Structures are given as C-alpha cells and as structure tokens.
Amino acid sequence: MDCVNCREPMIVLEVDQVEIDYCLECGGIWLDSGELGILLDDDDIVAEFLEKPVMTNHVRESERLCPECEKNLNELLVDPDNGIYIDRCADRHGLFFDRGELKQVIGLFRTETSKKVASLLKDIFRGDKID
C-alpha cells in the first residue's frame, strides 16, 4: 500500500496483534476499519468517539484518497482543544494519522488499555518524531 499523504510505499508493522501500515518517509499511519477499536480493545468506545456530534460539525473533505476505494478522505476534528484532525474514509475503509497523531488520539481515551498502547507505540517509534 502506498501512503495516502506522500505516496511512498508503506511497511506493515504488527502492534498488539493489529497490522499497522506505516510510512517510513512521512511517519503516517493507516489503520484499516476496526483496527483502532482492536488496539483499544473496545469497538464501541471508538465508534462513539468517531461519531461525536462535535465532529460532525467539523468534517471537511481532504485531498487525500482512501487506498481502498480511492475516494477523498474526510478530515474529522477529533480534539478541538488541540486542533487534531484525522482522515477517515467516508465508506469506513480506514483511518489515516499524520506523524504523531495516533499516539495523541489514543491518549484521548484515557483508559488502561490506551496507556499500554500509547507506551507500546512510543517504544516502537522511539527515535521517530512521534512524540
């Protein structure tokens, strides 16, 4: 799969039994549909998070294309306080995170599982500018 941001080939990493497509060039991460829920061990909390009313008022079309259906991704404002947008396929094929965004988004959940996953990501991307 090529990166939706810079079009360079992505590598596949396995984190806590979830395949993460990672771009060595720009640090972007693609998660297929449902993989964020698997990482956090709670599909319902992720679905609720992605459908919060605040975000439906803050959705804009991205120039980036979904690697599955090649339609424009939507940018969702997931953290108004810090201005964090993530890219999501309108047909729910997956999510794209720019460098460091996945760790920031996981930190928003504030659960024991999210703390473990954030720590794991920090270890994996040590030396990268994910923090």
Share of the chain above pLDDT 90, in %: 36
Q: What is the mean pLDDT of the chain?
A: 84
Kindly state the helix (H) or strand (E) to which residue 18 belongs, with its residue range: strand 18-23
Name the residue among 110, 78, 111, 122 with its Cα closest to residue 96. Answer: 78
**Structural contact between residues 15 and 120, judged by C-beta atoms closer than 8 angstroms:** yes
SS3 assignment, position 29 = strand
Task: Measure the CA–CA gap between 39 and 30, rounded to whole angstroms.
Answer: 13
Of 100 and 73, the structure prediction assigns the larger pLDDT to: 73
Distance, in Å, from the CA atom of 4 to the CA atom of 43, rounded to the nearest integer, reads: 24
Q: What is the mean pLDDT of residues 72-95?
A: 89
Q: How far apart are CA 43 and CA 103, in angstroms?
A: 17
Work out the burial of residue 20: count CB atoms within 10 Å of its CB; fewer than 13 is exposed, 13-18 middle, 19 or more buried.
Answer: buried
